[in-house]
Chains A and B, each alone.
Chain A
Amino acid sequence: MEKLFDPFVLLFTAGFSVTGIWFIYKVYRWLAGLSSADRSLVFHGVFSARLWKALIETISESLIHRKVFSRNPRLGYMHMSLAFGWFMLILIGNIESTWYTGDLFKPIYVSVFWRFFDPGPAFPRAAWQPGFAFIMDLFLLLVLSGLLFAIVKRFRSRLVGLKRTTRQQPVDRLALTALWLIFPARLIAESMTCGAHGTGSFLTGTLGHLFSFAFSPSPLVLPTWWFYSFILSSFFFLLPFTRYAHIPSEPVLIFLRRFGVRVSIESPSFTDLNLHACSSCGICLDACQLSEVMPGKQVQSNYFNRALRNGANPPHQWDCLLCGRCGSACPVGVELIPIRQLQRPDTGIGRGLQLPGLVGKNGHKVTILYFAGCMTHLTPGIISSMRKIFDQSGASWHFFDADGQNCCGRPLKLAGQTQAASELKKKLEQDFLRSGAGLLVTSCPICFRIFNEEYRLPGMRVLHHSQYISELLEWKRIKVGPSGLSAAYHEPCELGRGSGILVEPGLVIRSLFHSDVTPSGEGLCCGGSLGGVALEPEVRKAVARGAAEQLTVNHPDVLITACPLCKKTFKPVTSIPVQDIAEATAHYLIAGSSMPERRKSTKVLGYEINK
């Protein structure tokens, strides 16, 4: 057996060691930086079925890129062919070299440069050689075809389904160039070798054959392998400092996420892992409506992640609407919104708050508490509609914030004032519970989200008014007449994507209008979001205009939303009337229809009227 070594492998080995050592160090840091609770999640996860689920997810996302496929097949093919093709080249190269050498623990470079060490039937069991050569050529072809897509994407991104692509920083471009050269360099090196020995399959064999027609490939064999080793080495040298760090990081993220770890203040290293797993694929660019209205400003999450990863201040982070569209588009599942929220510093606003008029406010017992919310107080049409609906349904309800002096705390949180938000939350929780009510209905999706996600209200259901109305309709506590009109529905971010309330608004709208409205959770942002702290009103208006245009392409008679803020934001930018779902319901209420089925409603709605 020949000696399985040549000096050119040292280049590759050096570069690969850099990536390897970096990765081991990083994994250690990611695990060490978890809170003890999260670490025990990981510990228990390793010995559970979640491990296998994580493995399956790693294959389907990191290699096959299933989510990218479902978004855009061409883009999915590009990602898949590069990742899966490369992985298979490594795997099969390994199997082939192990098959011939019988040594499982040979140095990595042996399988990487296997064709150099075994150009033809030099080893025993050579009958398999053409088979291996064929498979290896097949996967090399797959990778090369993906590369073609990648090059097309750089210059004509629309052809692979992206309007915009990420603007790369210089070091990323360098690594990108190395990555692009890896596979052509491999093709040429292998073809030279095969040409010199008259071996190889349909790709390397044919090319090698062509080479040997034109010149004698033998003296060029070694230089081309040196070149290939050099390119590989450069790529692996650069990997830790570029977006390609996502290649080893993404599987780690998938495993930890499957074990139940989430972004939190207590586990800062998990945020770092999320940032490293971002591949800068740029899918979030098109999801972000600010790409349209603030061209050139790098608000979007790929830039945000990159800045944080480089230890810089994320650009324009206060402009982001926190609408969550990027988060739900991200194929890697980077927890973009939680990370963004943690980045907003607590400056102490709201800490000096003496909550006015809260204490002792709700002495009397009721069954339903109605919390309108700050924004709803600016759109009193919603409040009067809710009054009408409550009264018609015969509920015993109490208007908790009739004086308009309460805030739920979420706006403080969106502005980074976490401490004040949690103080506010504690006070409100007490007041809610003191009322003894079994149901809390709110008109504002912003309030709904924080009540639902963060308030601890044992024994109290929390509903957004669209859900409440839907229940009233289902249990026939109220009845509505069909309007005979068509409608489009704007899904408020906090309600739809944010809280997953999709079915109920659809039900209510379909019972009022003849349009087939089915909320998807992929709604646009109206632009009014309180997340976009620094966004100037004109920019908000531009976002709103864009969203309204898209929502009203079919010229509906009315644009329905379920949020006072969305309603107020859309009103000035569209000629189509904008109504809240509660207003529409109240408008088409049929009088005298309440309570034919009192007995069931008692349980469902928390009413106690007939006792």
Chain B
Amino acid sequence: MKTKFGFDIHDNRQIDLDLEDTRFADEVAVVVKSWKACMKCGACVGTCPVGKGVLNLTGINYQPALTTCLMCGKCLLVCPRGINTRHLILEVMNKYREYGKAV
């Protein structure tokens, strides 16, 4: 899945809103309200026993690594912003399944 959900940043640090597409992110946020509070601190990734960056910090995005999540909930416990990461992962997967885009 190549589409990025969100905007892109070019190498010259110019923000490219032409590429902006937040539909997916907005849809997920309807279900998991807390996720927009993420400040990309990385605690969730740091604690994850799978350790391959299951959670993508550049925005929610479908990535193959999501399918390796153990649902263990450690990320949820460490998140300083109280984000329900576990639900987020499940929801992203569900949405992709709905759209028939899952691997």
Contact = CB atoms under 8 A, between A and B. Distances in A.
To the question of whether A and B form a pair in one complex, the answer is: yes
Interface string A407-441: 10001101101000000100000000000000000
Contacts of A354: 68
Given A348-B102, A534-B87, A537-B34, A406 B49 contact: yes
Contact of B74 (A356, A374, A415, A417): A374
Interface in A313-371: 318, 347-354, 356
A483 to B, nearest CB: 28
Nearest to A416: B90
B56 interface: no
Contacts of A568: 77
Contacts of A404: 49
A533 B82 CA distance: 14
A533 B32 CA distance: 10
A378 interface: yes
Given A348-B102, A352-B67, A533 B90 contact: yes
A504 to B, nearest CB: 26
Contact of A350 (B31, B47, B67, B97): B67
Given A352-B67, A407-B49, A537-B82, A347 B90 contact: yes
A349 B51 CA distance: 15
Interface string A529-554: 01001111110000000000000000
Q: Which of B51, B82, B90 has the most CB of A within 10 A?
A: B90
B102 A412 contact: no
Contacts of A576: none
Interface residues of A, number: 33
Main DSSP-derived SS at the A contact region: loop
A537 to B, nearest CB: 4
Contact of A414 (B71, B74, B89): B71
Interface string B14-45: 00000000000000000111100000000000
A411 B71 contact: yes
A357 B51 CA distance: 12
A78 to B, nearest CB: 40
Nearest to A569: B77
B72 interface: yes
A351 B69 CA distance: 8
A412 B73 contact: no
A149 B68 CA distance: 55
B60 to A, nearest CB: 15
A310 interface: no
A351 B68 CA distance: 6
A351 B50 CA distance: 13
Contacts of B78: 378
Nearest to A378: B77
B97 A347 contact: yes
Contact of B72 (A318, A348, A374): A374
Contacts of B73: 374-375, 411, 530
Contacts of A17: none
Given A415-B90, A538-B82, A350 B34 contact: no
A535 B93 contact: no
Interface in B51-103: 51, 64-74, 76-78, 82-84, 86-87, 89-90, 93-94, 97, 102
Given A411-B71, A530-B71, A530-B73, A349 B89 contact: yes
Contacts of A377: 49, 74
Given A533-B87, A534-B87, A375 B67 contact: no
Contact of A349 (B31, B49, B66): B66
25 contacts: A318-B87, A348-B67, A349-B93, A350-B68, A350-B70, A356-B50, A374-B72, A374-B74, A375-B72, A375-B77, A378-B78, A404-B49, A405-B51, A406-B49, A407-B72, A411-B70, A411-B72, A412-B71, A417-B71, A424-B70, A533-B90, A534-B31, A536-B84, A537-B83, A568-B77
Given A348-B67, A534-B87, 14 more contacts: A318-B90, A349-B69, A353-B68, A354-B68, A374-B49, A374-B70, A378-B47, A406-B49, A407-B49, A411-B70, A411-B73, A415-B90, A536-B34, A538-B82
